[in-house]
Structure 1
Amino acid sequence: MTAGRRLFAWLGAALLAVVLTACAGLPTSGPVNPGRAPGEAEGSQEVFFRPVGPLPGATPQQIVEGFIRAGSAPGAGARWERAREFLAPGFRSAWRPSAGVIIDLENDRVPVETGEGLVSVSLTVVGTTDARGSYQQADEAATTLSYELAQQDDGEWRITAAPDGVVLDRALFPSVFHEYAVMYFSPGWEYLVPDVRWFPTTTAATSIVDALVNRSKSDWLDGAVFSAFPEGVEARPTVPVSAGVAEVELTESVLASDTQALDRMQAQLEASLATANVTAVQMSVDGTPLEATAAPVRSTRIPGAPLVLTELGFGYLAGDELEPVAGLSDVMTTVDPVAIQTSADRDLAALLLRTGEVARVRDDRTSVVLDERAGLLDPTIGPGGGVWSVPREDPSALRVFPLAGEPIDVEGAFPDATGIEAFSLSRDGTRLAAVVTAGGRSVLWVAGVGRGADEGTIVLDEPLLLSVLGGSGVDVAWLDDQTVGVLVRQDDTTVVLEQAVGGPGTTVVAPRDAASLAGGTSLSNVRLRGEDGALYVRRGSTWQQAAAGIRVLATQQGAPQ
């Protein structure tokens, strides 16, 4: 066989075989059901890949290409046994596939033999994950990976040196790794906050528990959230799951925890493992079950009806009628807002007035102007009633106006940003999303909200880049606990970016004149307001006008308990 034919045959054999499990019971009739929504837990149907191993006579370049393809098959226990077949025996145990993932564009890969037993592969990187499973967006950066190979006693080439981690094409990545939410508490133990991680599905439960109990939080969130698991408590290396029940074995030091702490640990475990289809959790020490009941936490879900200001007043829109919000609807008639965000208990709201001032109103029908600086953006309100305000031209001048006391200048606000177009606090108050201008580009950042060493200080941690927008940001809103929506104007097109915090994003074309957006009960319930007052609701990938005459489309930070 000629070298050309050998290469063609090898590449043909190396095509991945896709095996769909749980197909035997697929229905052949009945209704068509919608697919999984972003962030929704995976079902029982999984996709596994079976790349071929090294073929006899493969060249060093072919061995490296096959090794990279084998990154799509973590296998049982995520040991990447297939990929290790491409490695020399002395290197197999040294290579660490769990070190992270490089997410690239497969069509851009360029492998080159640079010398005898030397191969380099040029990649276009669009994202990475680290050893903790934390995802980081990359701006299609070019990088080169180097591999060393040696001929074995049988004459076959095998890899003797390679970077740790695996390489996966962008389209393949979400089939091999799935997103899971590792849950931490907000200050005050009121909310559970997701720290999204990406793990192979074959080790989901074990990876989630290891991340929660044994490893640290994502760097950008470290100062904003808390864990009930104290220092010194560790989880055993495997988490068996039987009939939906996960057995989490902890070290003896957990026995020093009181009932309240154990209940909070139980809440973190149950909520974290629920994203891997675990229905119950049993903590134990040396096989002895621990008695714990998940501590209650507050939901961040909001009502299904849009909250709007029209010529009829302020309230929830139901057909042609408005359902008023007690106290707040009355006070809205005494002010002239162009932006409204209500607190979770609906007893407070942050407003941008038509005069350009930021104000706070209460359900006792009182209002107070908080900020009179020039060029203020739409404000946002936190769980404690503090109103956040910032001038468009001065991102570092971010200020919080608490219910009592003096205004607080936020430390570390938007470093290196020269402008800010929109911002919004997450409903749990732990994260701030913002569209800023940095390096001459419009980008979406998210930062953890921490507390400084001095009492009463507020600090923004180092921001995480979520997306480069490719246009100007018009508005930003939290669509759920782990998704930020951004209205982006790109030349003659307006799009809605639904950006996962800790994952990739998706875009959908929006009405050209869309001026503001608000979340609903799910990602499919996003609402837009046009410049002419039209209210649009999403239907699949299209938008339908649902109402007219909307003066303000309000955003909500939750609902009363």
Structure 2
Amino acid sequence: MGADSRVGRAGRGGGTRAVVLAACGGLVVTGCATMPDSGDVQAVKGANLGDSQVRVYAVAPRENADPDEIVDGFLEAMTSDDPGFTTARKYLTAQAAKTWKPAQSITVLTTAPDREQADRNADPDNQGRAYPLSGRKIATVDARHAYQPNSPAKYVQSIHVVQQPSADGKGKEWRIDSLPSGLVLGEADFLRNYRSVNKYYFASGEDWVVADPVYIRQRQDPVTRMDPVTQTVKALLEGPTNWLKSAVDSQFPSGTELKAGVTSLATDDQSTLKVPLNAKAELVGGEACRRMAAQLLFTLGDLTSVRVEQVELQKPSGDSLCRLGKGQAAEFAAVRNTVPQENPYFLDEHGKLKMLAVQGKETDEPAEVPGPFGSGTTPLTSVAVDRGETRAAGVGSSGRDLFVSSITTEQDPQPAVLTSKAARPADRLSAPSWDGRGDLWVADRNPAAARLWMVPDGSGDPVEVRTPWLTEGTRVEALRVSADGVRIALLVKQGERTTLQIGRVERQQTGAETEVSVVGLQPAAPRMESVTSVSWAGPSRLVVVGKEAGGVQQIRYLQTDGSTSASSVLPGLNGVSSVTAPNGDAAPVVANSGNDGIVRLAPGTNWQPVVKAGTSPVYPG
């Protein structure tokens, strides 16, 4: 609920107002020179509705407040940092205050919920008043902090108020006795109060970690009273989100929690964070403890408010279980530093594979790569380079055949590892993608038999991926697999619409056979009417080309859970057909623009042309 909407509602209600304080020099305004020291408290407009430095303080209901004020005051109080939501509960009856669980869920609307006038007909006995609430619902956040987006849909709920004896017993006062579950927030208030962080768990049976994005409070959590660092650790210990849990493992023994009473964690002067755990973790062995500490180090690495160079896990007594530094934890990363830097590649106008010199000058010529892909012996229409930058996979000029070749040494052209039988080139193979395990993925878009394929190590017998959602009339236009191999971004075409979906990769060994499935598809860009291109841009971030209904094409960053922010939109670029991004932040985003050819976007700059004639820009993966 933004500050603008507060002003309007307060004016209509007449008496109950939330106090909105903006940041002054990075701190909450409690003594700035412009702060008045007398007069009534006034609601103010924040310059940025999503600004995390804007603080909202709840105001208790005034004596003899009318029912409109009670409802408005409660809606305002839900947006505050009120400890325990104590002030918000003062708007509720005693029973409702006991049963309301604000930590149970969050309903996110496009804007603050619109409170209509009371519908007296909804309460024929005239024992109270029902106030309809409406809006456009765009997401929910569950008790495990997982963000679940949806296409904007109508939201209709109600708040019911009744009269009850006042505290002094001399009269009656209006209070809420029935209300929606959890919190109901406009998107601006949600982004002001909450921030996305990645928890990390191990890919099932593997030795590398997988990001699991969740939302925590920007400041102290009103319910647990925990600071952001402690909230993040607590969320990690609670285990993976429901969507991811079947594909990952946590090294923390079941039931592991923070030591009772811990609400604040801070690093010492050596940037070491000491984390006291309960008795469930007392008997863990050395290697298991190292992996537990690695999960914590990766998770805390997303918090800009704290610098953690080392983690020490402790028993309830304070004795040390183990210590691990960031350098030691790096061995568990999904993307290892096997090459000095990530290099982007592209196909020139003759279908030859070349490496871009995007870190150099605009005048630097692209480098030819060894092998049949670089020489043009095997011309390509699309390509993918493995994460070690030693091999590439490409779809031949007819779109029918998938080839694999070295890009570090010369070799003769190899036979196709997979062939599509579709009649039209546009219905044949998609661009391929490598996961961090070295396996190669591609979609066959054949209308008669649309399939998803995985080629083990890029050279084994192709495995048909189990896809129960790939029904008649549906096909995969494009795909990109995450470095950890647990998640896959899919452009799924159904009818005339192409949507971005995130699927979960599950592997099951039956004897010598490995069954691979992609299941649990969830929308990653539900507000986009169509999506043209997608690329991974980090452990849980995507860069996407698409457009919203009635809008123009845009390039923006999205989290894999579908959440976004206003600052995630990249500078405009016309006619973009494909985009690719590095795993880190140092290298530029590269795109293919119909007007400008291959272009790059370095951090803090605008788009710059690199190659006039070229297609299919890709980073490793």
Hey, what's the Cα distance between the residues in 2 that align with 1:438 and 1:246?
A: 49
The equivalent of 1:33 in structure 2 is: none
Unaligned runs of at least 5 residues, structure 2:
1-7, 30-49, 167-171, 221-225, 423-427
The equivalent of 1:29 in structure 2 is: none
The equivalent of 2:57 in structure 1 is: 50
The equivalent of 1:8 in structure 2 is: 11
Q: Is contact 1:427–1:557 with CA below 8 Å preserved after alignment?
A: no
The equivalent of 1:106 in structure 2 is: 111
Hey, what's the Cα distance between the residues in 2 that align with 1:492 and 1:283?
A: 50
2:575 to 508, 513, 524: 513
2:256 to 233, 238, 244: 233
Per the normalisation by structure 2, the TM-score is 0.77
Q: Is contact 1:412–1:459 with CA below 8 Å preserved after alignment?
A: yes
1:372 to 397, 419, 431: 419
The equivalent of 1:257 in structure 2 is: 284
The equivalent of 1:298 in structure 2 is: 333
1:194 to 211, 218, 228: 211
Q: What amino acid maps onto 1:143 in structure 2?
A: Y
More deviation, 399-408/488-497: 488-497
Alignment of 1:173-212 (within 5 A): 173-187=190-204, 189-201=206-218, 202=220, 203=226, 204-212=228-236
Q: How far off is 1:101 after superposition?
A: 0.9
Q: Relative to 1, partners in 2 of residues 1:65 and 1:344: Cα closer, same or farther, differing over 3 Å?
A: same
Q: What amino acid maps onto 2:594 in structure 1?
A: E
The equivalent of 1:435 in structure 2 is: 491
Larger radius of gyration: 2
Q: How far off is 1:524 after superposition?
A: 8.7
Alpha-carbon displacement from aligned partner over 1:304-334 (angstroms, at most 9, x marks no partner):
6533344796223243445758756875543
Alignment of 1:11-410 (within 5 A): 13-20=16-23, 23=26, 46-76=53-83, 79-106=84-111, 109-114=114-119, 115=123, 116-154=128-166, 155-187=172-204, 189-201=206-218, 202=220, 203=226, 204-215=228-239, 217-236=240-259, 238-243=262-267, 246-276=273-303, 277-278=305-306, 279=308, 280-286=310-316, 287-294=318-325, 295=329, 296-298=331-333, 300=335, 303=341, 306-310=344-348, 314-317=354-357, 318-319=360-361, 320-322=363-365, 324=367, 327=370, 333-356=376-399, 357-363=401-407, 364=409, 365=411, 367-373=414-420, 374=422, 375-393=428-446, 397-403=451-457, 405-410=460-465
More deviation, 190-199/391-400: 391-400
Q: What amino acid maps onto 2:135 in structure 1?
A: L
The ranges of structure 1 where at least 4 consecutive aligned residues each deviate by more than 6 angstroms after the TM superposition are 489-492, 539-542
The equivalent of 1:481 in structure 2 is: 539
Q: What amino acid maps onto 1:350 in structure 2?
A: A
Q: Relative to 1, partners in 2 of residues 1:556 and 1:131: Cα closer, same or farther, differing over 3 Å?
A: same
Hey, what's the Cα distance between the residues in 1 that align with 2:436 and 2:10?
A: 62
Hey, what's the Cα distance between the residues in 1 that align with 2:9 and 2:386?
A: 67
* Helix, strand or coil at the partner of 1:184: strand
Hey, what's the Cα distance between the residues in 1 that align with 2:530 and 2:444?
A: 17
Q: How far off is 1:420 after superposition?
A: 2.6
The equivalent of 1:458 in structure 2 is: 516
Q: What amino acid maps onto 2:431 in structure 1?
A: D
Alpha-carbon displacement from aligned partner over 1:49-104 (angstroms, at most 9, x marks no partner):
1132223333333322221221111334xx22221121123332321100111111
Q: Is contact 1:473–1:487 with CA below 8 Å preserved after alignment?
A: yes
More deviation, 51-60/64-73: 51-60
1:420 to 468, 472, 476: 476
Q: How far off is 1:385 after superposition?
A: 2.4
Per the normalisation by structure 1, the TM-score is 0.85
Alignment of 1:541-552 (within 5 A): 543-552=606-615
Q: Relative to 1, partners in 2 of residues 1:441 and 1:71: Cα closer, same or farther, differing over 3 Å?
A: farther
Q: How far off is 1:186 after superposition?
A: 2.6
Hey, what's the Cα distance between the residues in 1 that align with 2:248 and 2:538?
A: 17
Q: How far off is 1:169 after superposition?
A: 0.9
The equivalent of 1:38 in structure 2 is: none
Hey, what's the Cα distance between the residues in 2 that align with 1:173 and 1:87?
A: 22
Q: Relative to 1, partners in 2 of residues 1:390 and 1:308: Cα closer, same or farther, differing over 3 Å?
A: closer
Hey, what's the Cα distance between the residues in 2 that align with 1:185 and 1:452?
A: 16
Aligned alpha-carbon RMSD (Å): 3.4
Q: Is contact 2:525–2:562 with CA below 8 Å preserved after alignment?
A: no
Q: Is contact 2:28–2:53 with CA below 8 Å preserved after alignment?
A: no
Higher relative contact order (CA 8 A, sep 6+): 1
Q: How far off is 1:190 after superposition?
A: 4.1
More deviation, 267-276/359-368: 359-368
The equivalent of 2:585 in structure 1 is: 522
* Helix, strand or coil at the partner of 1:385: coil
Q: What amino acid maps onto 1:382 in structure 2?
A: D
Q: How far off is 1:20 after superposition?
A: 2.0
Alpha-carbon displacement from aligned partner over 1:493-543 (angstroms, at most 9, x marks no partner):
432232211242344464332221110343993211123671222378985
Q: What amino acid maps onto 2:504 in structure 1?
A: G
